[in-house]
């Protein structure tokens, strides 16, 4: 006898899977432009799908994470970084009984506002926009999902749930954009789902930069010997698998470090929650930051970050690439301002309330991929 497969509604799924500290889509504060509910997907699932189907998301494939010279096709891009943040955050969200859909959605959107050429591009645009409110990639992510992606008939932007917007306000954003005031970002702290994404963003980039940095030869094994986490991990792997060497050993070490960090978070966060006597979502929002490594892992993580800053992010080869990229964006910016005809196609679909030409040029350049910026530079600066 065949049985009808029983479908679990998203409301039932949330009730079963999400603990007291998680955000429930069933109690979402809604969207700026109210929309009828979808029969199958929760509001956060819809938001996730809107992000994956956005242009800004697809462009992440051709945006640099760290400007390590792109010699190998398996080096990370903003897209693969985003996917790593997403899978690691989801593991932790599930482990802590949080809303996995919200966590995944915030993770997939967290870098949509990144300009081409990583932080070098961000620095160049911020310098050019000093008199007009500056440029910061987290705020730009909000602009992308709030205004710049245009594909729906009734509004510009993706009209995401307020909880997702809140998840993207990493360093606070109230008042940064006129439409954001409506997002009611009234909490002192953000839900654990967003805090977890912030932590996993750092975790992911530190670990994959360690991997790509050593693969590229910019980080030598000798230099890496200074890093406690690396030394400890290599020693434990060599004890269990003495035959491992070379690239396999290195990749397995990075994988083991990620595992140690995730395990650490899954122990440290519940301890912090218990100490702070946090028992409800309301308590989370009043408690201040709860998502962090243990004190011991915080120290080791800090040491690794400092090592990467001194040996990879400021490596002469990386610095030379950054300087070239910043220069390229500065020249493109000046060119578009002087030749608005080049941006007619963009201006036609640009629905901003009070656009200054500089902001439009900045949004245009910020949306570029590295390879499109290179192509435009070659075309216009001959």
Q: Is residue 122 a contact point for Mg ion (CB under 5 A)?
A: no
Minimum distance from residue 81 beta carbon to Mg ion (Å): 6
Cα-based distances in Å from 31 to 14, 45, 47, 350, 356: 20, 14, 10, 22, 27
**Region of 3-11, 30-38, 109-117, 181-189 interacting with Mg ion (CB under 5 A):** 109-117
Instruction: Check if the beta carbon of residue 82 is closer than 8 Å to that of residue 111.
Output: yes
| Six token digits for residue 365 | 């350049």
Q: Is residue 111 a contact point for Mg ion (CB under 5 A)?
A: yes
**Region of 144-152, 200-208, 312-320, 346-354 interacting with Mg ion (CB under 5 A):** 200-208
Q: Is residue 84 a contact point for Mg ion (CB under 5 A)?
A: no
Minimum distance from residue 16 beta carbon to Mg ion (Å): 31
Residue whose C-alpha is closest to residue 283's, from 20, 16, 54:
20
Nearer residue to Mg ion within complex by CB, 86 or 216: 86
| Six token digits for residue 315 | 């490596």
Minimum distance from residue 148 beta carbon to Mg ion (Å): 19
Q: Is residue 136 a contact point for Mg ion (CB under 5 A)?
A: no
Q: Is residue 163 a contact point for Mg ion (CB under 5 A)?
A: no
Q: State the Cα–Cα distance between residues 299 and 293, nearest whole angstrom.
A: 9
Taking the CA atoms of residue 190, residue 191, residue 196 and residue 199 in that order, the dihedral angle to the nearest 10 degrees is 10
Nearer residue to Mg ion within complex by CB, 207 or 278: 207
**Region of 12-20, 108-116, 262-270, 335-343 interacting with Mg ion (CB under 5 A):** 108-116
- Beta-carbon contacts of 133 under 8 Å, excluding residues fewer than 6 positions away, are 359
- Beta-carbon contacts of 136 under 8 Å, excluding residues fewer than 6 positions away, are 122, 126, 171
Nearer residue to Mg ion within complex by CB, 201 or 215: 201
Count residues near Mg ion (CB under 5 A).
2
Nearer residue to Mg ion within complex by CB, 111 or 166: 111
Taking the CA atoms of residue 73, residue 77, residue 83 and residue 86 in that order, the dihedral angle to the nearest 10 degrees is 150
Q: Is residue 198 a contact point for Mg ion (CB under 5 A)?
A: no
* Binding test (CB under 5 A) with Mg ion, winner from 201, 211, 212, 363: 201
Binding site for Mg ion (CB under 5 A): 111, 201
């Amino acid at each position: 006898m065949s049985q009808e497969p029983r479908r679990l509604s998203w409301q039932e799924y949330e009730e079963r899977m999400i603990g007291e500290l998680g955000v429930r889509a069933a109690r979402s504060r809604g969207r700026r432009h109210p929309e009828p509910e979808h029969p199958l997907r929760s509001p956060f699932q819809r938001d996730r799908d809107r992000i994956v189907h956005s242009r800004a998301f697809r462009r992440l494939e051709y945006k640099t994470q760290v400007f390590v010279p792109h010699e190998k096709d398996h080096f990370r891009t903003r897209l693969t970084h985003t996917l790593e943040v997403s899978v690691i955050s989801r593991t932790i969200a599930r482990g802590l009984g949080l809303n996995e859909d919200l966590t995944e959605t915030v993770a997939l959107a967290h870098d949509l506002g990144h300009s081409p050429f990583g932080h070098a591009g961000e620095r160049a645009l911020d310098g050019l926009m000093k008199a007009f409110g500056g440029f910061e990639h987290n705020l730009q992510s909000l602009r992308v999902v709030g205004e710049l992606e245009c594909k729906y008939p009734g509004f510009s932007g993706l009209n995401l749930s307020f909880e997702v917007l809140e998840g993207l306000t990493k360093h606070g954003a109230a008042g940064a954009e006129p439409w954001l005031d409506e997002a009611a970002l009234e909490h002192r702290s953000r839900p654990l789902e967003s805090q977890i994404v912030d932590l996993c963003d750092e975790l992911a980039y530190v670990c994959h930069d360690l991997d790509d940095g050593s693969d590229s030869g910019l980080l030598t094994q000798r230099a890496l010997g200074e890093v406690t986490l690396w030394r400890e991990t290599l020693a434990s792997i060599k004890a269990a698998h003495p035959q491992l060497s070379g690239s396999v050993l290195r990749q397995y070490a990075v994988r083991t470090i990620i595992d140690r960090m995730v395990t650490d978070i899954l122990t440290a966060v519940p301890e912090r929650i218990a100490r702070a006597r946090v028992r409800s979502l309301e308590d989370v929002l009043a408690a201040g930051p709860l998502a962090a490594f243990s004190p011991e892992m915080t120290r080791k993580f800090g040491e690794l970050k400092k090592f990467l800053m001194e040996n990879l992010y400021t490596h002469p080869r990386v610095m030379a690439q950054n300087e070239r990229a910043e220069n390229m964006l500065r020249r493109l910016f000046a060119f578009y301002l002087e030749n608005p005809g080049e941006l007619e196609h963009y201006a036609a679909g640009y629905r901003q309330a009070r656009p200054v030409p500089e902001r439009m040029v900045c949004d245009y350049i910020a949306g570029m991929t590295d390879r499109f910026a290179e192509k435009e530079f070659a075309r216009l600066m001959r």
